[in-house]
Amino acid sequence: MNIDQPVGHVIRQTMTDFYAFGIYWIKTLPGIQLLQGLPFCMVALLMVLYLGRDTETSSRYERIERQVVQALNWDDFDSAKVLLQRQLLLRPDDRNARYQMARVLYETGQTDDAVLIMRQLA
């Protein structure tokens, strides 16, 4: 989804995508008879709540990412380390965050840990 799109368009597109996916999902996957008994509006509400959770995690990640950049610009490595730990909890496979963590560890004198992370990234 593009953040510059009007909210109504995003909601309509999300609901259209969900409707198509939801019908396919309910008809094809075994063990989904429970969802077949629910009115479609309830299934749509569950999906919107799920999408909202993902959006919340993504915005939290982006906010932490901005704070990390700010901390690194000010050479505040202790704050950057804490923020990077939070960032890696949200997305453990983020190579950029792991590289930044190696940089922070190197700058704070924990060279062994920094070298270990860099070897894992190679």
Domain ranges of the chain: 38-121
Enter the pTM of the model: 0.51
Q: pLDDT tens digits for 77-119?
A: 888 888 888 888 877 888 888 888 888 888 888 888 888 888 8
For domain 38-121, which architecture applies? Alpha Horseshoe (1.25)
* 64 and 91 Cβ atoms separated by less than 8 Å: no
DSSP SS3 for 41 = helix
Q: pLDDT tens digits for 18-46?
A: 655 655 555 555 445 555 666 666 666 66
